[in-house]
């Protein structure tokens, strides 16, 4: 039978924090009797959850809004909501028309009361659903923010202006949310924060991220525990010790350096030097020799000379990252760097980005060979083909493997031997159940 429930569509642009916010809206809409759709034409409400980090992301949001406004010409009752980090930037007169609701990033695990009011005013009825197994990640994998906002004010970055100051969440709140997620079937928990290593700095009672992680890792039911982002400035050996003590914590580090030149790092206000960064990488590799380390790089930052850029290439060759999320610098409103006069032309920035990605491609290709013949814990993500199960290793690599006699379940952890590597993917065979 065809469902008569009203439908909603959520477009999420940006980082995992935005995915988390979208999951909050998804719950509220489910409580108002809505059902999710991927077809904009059949939706009664469209939510566009926006990102402001680069001009390109704002343009993407603007085009999604354009599409929704176009549809509203035929469907005048369509409700359009513009949410998230770029909502203030998009509030100009041309977008204001036909948009029913604007709201910034949530920075809490609840939607604003104005969103409930909007739905009430439009005549929808609130009838809460007792269990929410709906998540934007998947049923077995949940994002849990541990700290909202950011106090770092890196000179290129708009995030502190759109997400506000750091606000750590009390352990009891985090624990309650994890227990709830586990009771709904989650086995993987991904802790989120712009800089998880600043956790607890805003509390009167002294605590820090390693202590929090130590307490979270023992919450029953968590088979895989992941976190991001780990800012190099506050990263310390205590964190590595806690990671070593708990088998359910992954061996992967998203460790954004942003640039390989010390003068540029200073101008970016990152708070570390290339040498300090590389030393921290050596701490990681001393304890977890095959850990995966990924990074973010911005090229074309104001004042980046050819010589400075060469330092970034040298850093990339030395650090041997598993992958790089590269971007050309995009001037952002309100930020300090947007006032710097010595801008690098966009075409130079684009050329530099291509060079970075080209060099990294070869490094990624040779780096992956280190997994040959290693054993790793693998988190199962797909089991529809009983001869070839898909999962992700503790180093966050995709792997296909032949199972033992019993078919492993999605969200379960098994031990796998890597037999060979093809097209950036690992292939292997299961050697035992579980890693705990």
Element (H, E) at 76: none
Cα dihedral 98, 101, 105, 107, rounded to 10, equals -170
Nearest residue (CB) to ligand SF4, 132 versus 233: 233
142, 332, 352, 392: which one contacts ligand SAH (CB under 6 A)? 332
Q: Does 54 bind ligand SF4 (CB under 6 A)?
A: no
CB 96 within 8 A of CB 170: no
Nearest CA among 424, 374, 401 for reference residue 251: 374
Exposure of 381 by Cβ count < 10 A (0-12 exposed, 13-18 middle, 19+ buried)? middle
CA 325 from centroid of its chain's CA atoms: 12
Q: Pick from 14, 160, 232, 300 the residue near ligand F3S by CB under 6 A.
A: 14
Could you tell me the smallest distance in angstroms from the CB atom of residue 155 to ligand SF4?
Answer: 9
Q: Which two three-digit tokens encode residue 24?
A: 């909050």
The residues in 176-195 that bind ligand SAH, with binding defined as CB under 6 A, are 194-195
Q: Which of residues 15-34 bind ligand F3S (CB under 6 A)?
A: 15, 17-18
Asked if residue 296 binds ligand SAH (CB under 6 A), the reply is yes
The residue among 158 and 243 lying less far from ligand SAH, judged by its C-beta, is: 158
Q: Using the rule CB under 6 A, give the single segment among 61-69, 167-175, 327-335, 408-416 that binds ligand SAH.
A: 327-335
Q: Decide if 209 contacts 200 (C-beta within 8 A).
A: yes
What is the token pair recorded at 14?
A: 């940006």
* Nearest-angstrom CA–CA distance, 327 and 296: 8
- The least distance separating ligand SF4 from the CB of residue 407, rounded to whole angstroms, comes to 41
Length in residues, the chain: 436
Touching ligand F3S, residues 150-189 (CB under 6 A) = 159, 162-163
Q: Which of residues 120-159 bind ligand SF4 (CB under 6 A)?
A: 150, 152-154, 157, 159
Residues 367, 322: contact at Cβ < 8 Å? yes
Q: Is there binding between residue 195 and ligand F3S (CB under 6 A)?
A: no
Nearer to ligand SF4, 334 or 431 (CB): 334
Closest distance between ligand SF4 and the C-beta of residue 88, in Å? 17
| H-assigned helices in 193-273 | 209-216, 237-245, 262-268
Among 24, 53, 85, 414, binds ligand SAH (CB under 6 A): 53
The answer to whether residue 430 forms part of the interface with ligand SF4 (CB under 6 A) is no
- Helix ranges restricted to H, 11-130: 16-31, 55-74, 93-96, 113-121
Binding residues for ligand F3S, rule CB under 6 A, total: 12
Q: Which CB, 51 or 413, lies closer to ligand SF4?
A: 51
The residues in 221-240 that bind ligand SF4, with binding defined as CB under 6 A, are: 231
**Judged by CB under 6 A, does residue 85 bind ligand F3S?**
yes
Q: What is the 3-state secondary structure of 281-313?
A: HHHHHHHCCCCEEEEEEEECCCCCCHHHHHHHH
Question: Which of 157/413 has CB closer to ligand SAH?
Answer: 157
E strands, 152-233, are 167-168, 188-192, 224-228
- Give contact residues for ligand F3S (rule: CB under 6 A): 14-15, 17-18, 51-53, 85, 105, 159, 162-163
- Give contact residues for ligand SAH (rule: CB under 6 A): 53-54, 156-157, 159, 194-195, 229, 231, 256, 258, 296, 298, 327, 329-330, 332
- Give contact residues for ligand SF4 (rule: CB under 6 A): 150, 152-154, 157, 159-160, 194-195, 231
């Amino acid at each position: 039978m065809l469902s008569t429930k009203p439908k909603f569509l959520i477009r999420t642009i940006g980082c995992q924090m935005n995915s988390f916010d979208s999951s909050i809206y998804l719950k509220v809409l489910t409580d108002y009797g809505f059902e999710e759709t991927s077809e904009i034409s059949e939706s009664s409400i469209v939510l566009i959850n926006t990102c402001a980090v680069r001009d390109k992301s704002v343009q993407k949001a603007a085009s999604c809004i354009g599409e929704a406004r176009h549809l509203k010409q035929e469907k005048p009752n369509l409700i359009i909501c513009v949410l998230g980090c770029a909502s203030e930037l998009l509030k100009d007169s041309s977008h204001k028309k036909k948009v029913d609701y604007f709201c910034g990033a949530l920075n809490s695990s609840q939607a604003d009361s104005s969103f409930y009011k909007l739905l009430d005013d439009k005549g929808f009825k609130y009838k809460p659903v007792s269990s929410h197994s709906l998540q934007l990640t998947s049923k077995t994998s949940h994002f849990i923010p541990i700290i909202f906002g950011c106090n770092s004010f890196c000179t290129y970055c708009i995030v502190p202006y759109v997400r506000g100051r750091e606000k750590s969440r009390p352990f009891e709140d985090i624990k309650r949310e994890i227990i709830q997620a586990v009771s709904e079937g989650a086995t993987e928990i991904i802790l989120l924060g712009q800089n998880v290593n600043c956790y607890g700095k805003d509390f009167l009672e002294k605590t820090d991220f390693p202590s929090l992680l130590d307490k979270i890792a023992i919450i029953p039911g968590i088979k895989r525990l992941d976190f991001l982002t780990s800012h190099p400035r506050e990263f310390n050996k205590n964190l590595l010790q806690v990671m070593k003590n708990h088998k359910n914590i992954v061996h992967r580090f998203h460790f954004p350096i942003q640039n390989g030149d010390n003068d540029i790092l200073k101008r970016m206000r990152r708070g570390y030097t290339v040498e300090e960064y590389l030393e921290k990488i050596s701490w990681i590799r001393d304890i977890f020799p095959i850990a995966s380390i990924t990074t973010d790089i911005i090229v074309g930052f104001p004042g980046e000379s050819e010589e400075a850029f060469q330092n970034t290439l040298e850093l990339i060759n030395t650090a041997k990252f598993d992958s790089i999320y590269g971007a050309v610098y995009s001037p952002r409103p309100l930020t300090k760097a947007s006032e710097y006069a010595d801008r690098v032309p966009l075409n130079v920035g684009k050329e530099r980005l291509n060079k970075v990605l080209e060099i990294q491609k070869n490094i990624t290709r040779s780096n992956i060979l280190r997994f040959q013949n290693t054993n790793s814990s693998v988190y199962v993500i797909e089991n529809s083909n009983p001869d070839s199960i898909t999962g992700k290793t503790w180093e966050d690599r995709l792997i296909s493997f032949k199972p033992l006699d019993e078919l492993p379940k999605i969200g379960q952890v098994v031990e796998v031997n890597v037999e060979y590597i093809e097209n950036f993917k690992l292939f292997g065979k299961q050697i035992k159940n579980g890693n705990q």
